[in-house]
Structure 1
């Protein structure tokens, strides 16, 4: 699965590179294979700060600003 994704990322990056070169445009770093491989194939771990729990009454009507 991972090697298939890496193939797809490579194909997409090559196509973007050819298209941009054909139009005479610079290839931005975030369109290069190394960046895309890191984006799509790096391990993912979400880190968040724990938010305080908000209490609210679901039966209340929304307040209007009139």
Structure 2
């Protein structure tokens, strides 16, 4: 039984896109889902828009989470 698009991880979606690159409907549905996932994971603006102290705080918080 095949997984639905929403059940696929990003790697599987990439493979699906490659396999269905000539099917406009399947390709656009998978690409839209993949793009949506990337937007959901966005947490911080680019470093060029953050001052140095804020970047250091972000890194320190991430390091503390790993400990």
With the length of structure 2 as denominator, give the TM-score of the two structures.
0.32
Greater RCO structure (CA 8 Å; 6+ sep): 1
Larger % of helix: which? Answer: 2
